[in-house]
Amino acid sequence: MVRCCARRAVGWRKWVWGLTATAVVLALPGWGKVLRGPAGDISLESRRFGGIEYVPLYDVAEALGLRLTWWYEARIIELEGRELRLSLMPGSRVVGGDRRTPVQMEAGVVFSRGVPYVPASFVTTTLAPYFERLRATARAGGGARLVVLDPGHGGRDQGAAGHGVVEKELTLDIARRVRAALVAKGVKVRLTRDGDVYVPLARRAEIANELGAAVFVSIHANAVNEQARTISGSETFYLSRAQTASDAATERLENSPLKDEVHSGWSALTARLKRFFLGNHFKQTRAQSIALAQRIQRRVGNVAVGDNRGIKPANLQVLRETLCPACLVEVGFLSHATDASYLRKEWYRQKVAEAIAEGIWEYLRTL
């Protein structure tokens, strides 16, 4: 049976992706694998079921930047990415794909404590080479340097306001200037909104993930209440996942349209998601996010009026779901008369925007 499946594997590998397999998955002594995905390397813990090596599907999806949806009632697990959609069924060896003849895995999807596992060979011979090719294409086309800028608020959400400045207008103006400065350096840039429209926070991160962004920078302005109106200056936030892992995991579950079933059927899911959020991949991204925040804040702090308030960890929804290094820059306090009066001036906004662009550019050169 193993031999028969191995022969078949060669067939579908060739025909589904048109690729020769590249050995991008390395076996580690005894336990685990390293999978190279678009967001970096991730360690996969492998387990044996019925003599076959399996890896957890959550970690595979995460490493490859795919969204995993479990349609409980239909008994279908979907993996979805920018150019790929696969559906798997518990217990089945068949993997369906968009407009493609189904693929057969070495063995069926198994569950252990509520977590789905797929044969490691499926990842090594089919998924990993496919993503390796995507990475190569991205490198060749400069796609690895795509910057997604996120002008805070918009539409019915105006954000903060003070001294004649409305946050949603300010952030869009600065984002457009940052874009112009980066485009002039040959960097590809996309905005999460390029007009006065409302974009939900979760969607902003999704846009960056779908486009395969190398960097995500959200642009905002601060405001404080009456008592603290002397507070001024700029600061940059990065996500501290360590503090928010359980919140994030809970949120994932709460956001599921089938949460009752998920809760009852997937008792181990929360713990699993915690591990998933705290895994190697995120540790890596966190360090990169800090490096990005430092570079931006150093530049912005140099040109902005008011205090240089430095970089800070925070639990911000817009950063929480972003797979690439991400930060959120607050360019000044609209509640502070001087900050706001400068932010009303075009030359000042240009200066701040150029500082943000310089910080991003400096970071991109380290990649």
Residue listed under structure tokens 């990649």: 367
CB 170 to Zn ion: min, Å: 9
Q: Quick one: which segment of 85-93, 116-124, 212-220, 275-283 binds Zn ion (CB under 5 A)?
A: 212-220
Q: Quick one: which segment of 49-57, 219-227, 232-240, 294-302 binds Zn ion (CB under 5 A)?
A: 219-227
Binders of Zn ion in range 156-195 (CB under 5 A): 159
CB 334 to Zn ion: min, Å: 10
336 contributes a contact to Zn ion by CB under 5 A: no
Binders of Zn ion in range 244-273 (CB under 5 A): none
Task: Tell me if 51 sits within 8 A of 40, measured CB to CB.
Answer: no
CB 164 to Zn ion: min, Å: 17
CB 72 to Zn ion: min, Å: 36
What ranges in the chain are assigned the alpha helix state H? 2-17, 57-63, 120-122, 128-141, 167-184, 201-211, 245-255, 259-265, 269-277, 280-303, 317-320, 337-343, 346-364
Residue with the shortest CB distance to Zn ion: 220
38 contributes a contact to Zn ion by CB under 5 A: no
CB 201 to Zn ion: min, Å: 10
Of the candidate residues 116, 152, 279, 325, the single one contacting Zn ion (CB under 5 A) = 152
Could you count the other beta carbons within 10 Å of the beta carbon of residue 148? 26
220 contributes a contact to Zn ion by CB under 5 A: yes
With respect to Zn ion, which residue has the nearer C-beta, 169 or 362?
169
With respect to Zn ion, which residue has the nearer C-beta, 42 or 334?
334
Distances (CA, A) of 172 to 42, 150, 155: 35, 8, 11
Beta 215-222 vs 147-151: how paired, if at all?
A: parallel
With respect to Zn ion, which residue has the nearer C-beta, 159 or 332?
159
With respect to Zn ion, which residue has the nearer C-beta, 200 or 265?
200
Q: How many residues bind Zn ion (CB under 5 A)?
A: 3
Helices 346-364 and 280-303 meet at what angle, rounded to 10?
140
DSSP string, 257-318: TTHHHHHHH-TTHHHHHHHHHSSHHHHHHHHHHHHHHHHHHHHHHHHSSS-EEEEEEE--HH
Could you count the other beta carbons within 10 Å of the beta carbon of residue 78? 17
**Chain positions contacting Zn ion, by CB under 5 A:** 152, 159, 220
